[in-house]
A and B are shown apart, each in its own frame.
Chain A
Amino acid sequence: AQSVTQLDSHVSVSEGTPVLLRCNYSSSYSPSLFWYVQHPNKGLQLLLKYTSAATLVKGINGFEAEFKKSETSFHLTKPSAHMSDAAEYFCVVRVNAGNMLTFGGGTRLMVKP
């Protein structure tokens, strides 16, 4: 069973409209949760991280994510998409007590003018 599921492989939005990228995970451990972004031909960059201090996490470039334990979800949102947000986004989770992170399969966000 997949530990981290990004529910959409591709999402297309118009510039100025909201963004929702969905992530569900399965874990028997209190998870650490991250969102990373990958622009074309680049390495990944941290957008935000859930540290258990607050369920709503604010990241860079106006992105937010909400940790919902009951739904085992950590969806990424942004109120208004910008052309520069076009990239691939990865949900990343620590799913057990070991030292490894598990990456979701990625969601490619396209932003139309």
Chain B
Amino acid sequence: EAQVTQNPRYLITVTGKKLTVTCSQNMNHEYMSWYRQDPGLGLRQIYYSMNVEVTDKGDVPEGYKVSRKEKRNFPLILESPSPNQTSLYFCASTKTGPFGELFFGEGSRLTVL
């Protein structure tokens, strides 16, 4: 089954404790991206990747890092999480570049205390 898989789905952590949210897709998509969803703000893009070893900042990259060492994986790293990073995070991928149909994971709800 074609899918985008995120882990963990739910996480409660404390300020400053490094964490990684993994994202993996099995559709051989080149383009992958991370979003955060906050009430009333829709989704805002954090980082995106056009292909392996090619990443770029989105609208709200501060406090986040990403890497794209393999085509299928695009982890989101919070080196020193802060409470304002409490949010619902989505990973997505597309076959045909940033303006093709986005396939989303089911989301990772992160709470930073």
**A: which residues have CB within 8 A of B?**
4, 6, 9, 32, 36, 41-46, 49, 90, 94, 99-106
Q: What per-residue 1/0 map shows which CB atoms of B43-78 lie under 8 Å from chain A?
A: 111001010000010110000000000000000000
Residues of B within 8 A of A32 (CB): 99
Q: Is B41 an interface residue (CB 8 A)?
A: yes
B44 lies within 8 A of A46 (CB): no
With A32-B99, A43-B105 already in contact, the answer to whether A105 and B48 are too (CB < 8 A) is no
**B: which residues have CB within 8 A of A?**
4, 35, 40-45, 48, 50, 56, 58-59, 90, 92, 97-99, 101-102, 104-107
Question: Which listed residue, A9, A41, A103, touches B44 by the CB 8 Å rule?
Answer: A103
What are 26 pairs between A and B in contact, CB < 8 Å? A4-B42, A6-B42, A36-B102, A43-B105, A43-B107, A44-B90, A44-B92, A44-B102, A44-B104, A45-B104, A46-B101, A46-B102, A90-B43, A94-B98, A94-B99, A99-B48, A99-B56, A100-B98, A101-B98, A101-B99, A102-B59, A103-B35, A104-B42, A105-B42, A106-B40, A106-B42
* A106 nearest in chain B by CB position: B42
With A36-B102, A49-B101 already in contact, the answer to whether A100 and B59 are too (CB < 8 A) is yes
Interface on chain A toward B: helix, strand, loop, or mixed SS?
loop
CB distance from A63 to the nearest CB of B (A): 15
A105 lies within 8 A of B40 (CB): yes
B42 lies within 8 A of A90 (CB): yes
The CA-CA distance from A67 to B41 in the complex, in Å, is: 23
CB distance from A26 to the nearest CB of B (A): 15
Residues of B within 8 A of A90 (CB): 42-43
Residues of A within 8 A of B48 (CB): 99-100
The CA-CA distance from A42 to B101 in the complex, in Å, is: 16
The CA-CA distance from A109 to B8 in the complex, in Å, is: 29
Pairs A-B, 10 closest by C-beta atoms: A43-B104, A103-B42, A103-B43, A99-B98, A46-B101, A44-B104, A105-B42, A32-B99, A43-B106, A105-B40
